Amino acid sequence: MNFICLNKNFIKQKTKSVLAVEMSIISFSLTVFSFFGDFTLKNWNFCLLGKFSVVFLFFIFCVFIAFILSCLLTFLKVENRVWGKNNSTLSIIYGDIFNLKQKKNKKQFIVIPVDTQFMTEVDSESLNIKYPRVAPDSLHGKFISKFYKNKNDKLKNDIETYIDKKEYKIDKKQQSKYSTLSENRFEVGTIVQIAPENDKGKIFLLLALAEFDEHNKASCSKSKLIIALNALFKFYDENCQGGDLYIPLMGTGFSRVGLTENESLRITKSCAELNLDYIKGNVSIVVYKKLRMDVSIFQ
């Protein structure tokens, strides 16, 4: 029932389309039958009310079949194309951000929300760190564990090299706010591009989103998420040469924005639609596939 409520507008639209097809098939069939024989209501051995009841019940049956087929088609559909122009598209899809099918001869850019310090330490096993640097169950933590396990120094060096190359400036406001901490902090929306050696087909865009305090407690806000998303689309236009961009839902968990997945999707979609001029390729907002029953891609 929750699935139907989430997708009611799309299911309603699809039901109308399926019903129209059903009616066309029935009309064509009746025309054919009438051509070969006298198939009319006059030959039915029912009173007028009986004939009306039969027709009405048959119509209700057709609506029911159309509704069931629409629900099934909606459940099986994994992509909703929101916008398209020339070779550029904006879609919402169900999937796993780390296991996306790569298109032939297309670069795959995957967004990973991180903290403004670009931390590389994950307390994934021993829990010996009093204040964990990166939560192991966050996308940031999963990225490090999957592609840089036991290679923290390598990741840290790659990040620092990219920051130096881009000549990113330290965020003095953050540095002053957290003066007791030594790590450099960068503005929300700063992006570091990383290409892991163990998966040549993927390029990750580490997007600075959350600020960590002295206890490594993350904090963010809806306005900062919007700032980060706007910066992301501009970066994509300037640096990704029309490659495929995949954006997960952000602000729903460890960044502590406090958004639901549906709210995050609406914000991400709205920001994307406001930045269509920056989309010169295929951009997909990725809803984790296991959230299919809770989040609708047909918003």
Tens digits of pLDDT across the chain (299 residues): 788 898 999 999 999 999 999 888 888 776 766 665 555 555 555 565 665 677 788 889 989 999 999 999 999 999 999 999 998 999 999 999 999 988 877 889 999 999 999 988 886 554 555 555 788 888 999 999 999 988 888 999 999 999 999 999 999 888 888 776 667 899 999 999 999 987 777 999 999 998 887 777 777 889 999 999 999 999 999 999 889 999 999 998 766 688 999 999 999 999 999 999 999 999 999 999 999 999 999 97
Closest CA relative to residue 59, chosen from 13, 11, 23, 8: 23
State the Cα torsion 85-88-92-96 to the nearest 10°: 170
Q: Which residues contact 143 (CB under 8 A, 6 or more apart)?
A: 98, 112, 204
pTM of the model: 0.87
